[in-house]
Amino acid sequence: MSHDELAWLSIADLTERLERRELSSREATEAQLARIAACDPGLNAFITVMTEQALVAADAADVRRSSGATGALLGVPLAVKDLYATTGVRTTAGSRVLADSVPDETAHAVERLEAAGAVVLGKTNMMEFAYGYPHPDFGESRNPWDTSRTAGGSSGGSAAAVAAGLAYGALGSDTGGSIRSPAVYCGITGLKPTYGRISRHGVVPLAWSLDHCGPMTRTARDAAIVYDAIAGYDARDPASAREPFEPTLPALARNARGLRVGIVQEFYDFHVQPEVRQIAEQATYALEPLGVTLGNVSFAFPIAPLVGPTIMPLVQAEATSYHWKTLLERPQDYGPDIRENLRLGAIVLAKDYLDAQRLRQRITTEIEAALRQFDVLVFPTQPIVAPILDAYRIAQSSEEDVLMGEIGHTGLANLTGHPAITIPCGFTQAGLPVGIQITGRAFDEATILLLANVYQQITDWHLRRPALPAS
């Protein structure tokens, strides 16, 4: 099997081949490293490639397997966003501020991956400090489907790497949609779990009350595999949930018959491009033959226009609180865009922050009421396709703010803390991916993964591959 054929296996398929000794973890890892060397110069998905460490980990996984060990991630090459601490390997968070930072600990989620035998290929590129804009030193990750377009933010490097076959899966982080936005733009699956379900210990924060960690993969089944490996309580994260954890992978054996699916129509209309709306609506009604019941969701007040104005004061104030000392001491090391955002955060009034928290609670109450009527809620993940490169910077001086438009759709689940997953559901005539988002009840990742998985069993959007150089 060639490097390129190996690259497009799912995690589940790769594990089966490893179990049958049809290939070794070292072979799979070498194949991924070869693709990174061939393709990443045109994508800018990685900040640091951990070649030596990855090969050592792959050999160790092969030894474990030869000794009888098994596991869904044993020997599987993955990538992690460069805000997850990694012992002895620099963790930059995409900023000059941390360009030479080498942690002496490893983030909890990465520890869990490594304990499961996963091979960490490297650290992926990202918007600076996950705040929506790339630092000039690192640049923007390019979209494998059209390299004149962004891979999205802030986990764009993770999304590009998975979509391009440079990693079988990756970790991202999500404060206003930073897993789901790049996932939809790059045509992959992205899961933002329930707030507190995955520890953020060892992860550089953006906004403490909104930050989530989660997996980015090509399939819902693979997302469940990675999620199951890293979810659970961690005393080192003050927000870590003590809710008992049950693996989600067994739930994927069920069918979706009887699920009540709520269509949130206002999110199909709110600034949604006509072609995106059409594709998302077709995907939504394609769920009906699976035996689900579709119904319309009604709220007491329009929610879509309020998500952005509610989330931004929270992000601005919390981010500035974290960065304030460094901003005063080393302002020149921040990129100009994030530097301006952090300064704006310094003038957010306590009244504005508290008003946003009150509105956040009202929105959460509405979503929880809807989820008592329905098992899941669906709507387009983003109202647009992947923007052109530099769109986030350009939008600052234009009438159409790209970042605010994105947050309007994905930020809802960050405000409420509910789990949400995006899956690819079609392509525009220009060949750009579109996705739908499935939101579920708190700590019920199993149901949204189930519905995503059965949808992928009847469609092939997640199997499409961008045209890239051969390795």
Name beta bridge partners: 433: 427
350-355's contacts with Cβ under 8 Å and 24+ in sequence apart are 352/313, 352/317, 353/313, 353/314, 353/317, 355/313
Catalytic residue flag (residue 154): yes
Compute the residue count for the chain: 471
- Catalytic choice (81, 123, 155, 181): 81
Catalytic residue flag (residue 155): no
- Catalytic choice (95, 141, 154, 199): 154
Helix axis angle for 220-230 and 108-115, nearest 10°, is: 110
Report the 10 Å Cβ neighbour count for 275. Answer: 17
Catalytic residue flag (residue 2): no
- Catalytic choice (141, 173, 178, 240): 178
**Which is it for strands 433-440 and 376-380: parallel, antiparallel or unpaired?**
antiparallel
Residues designated catalytic: 81, 154, 178
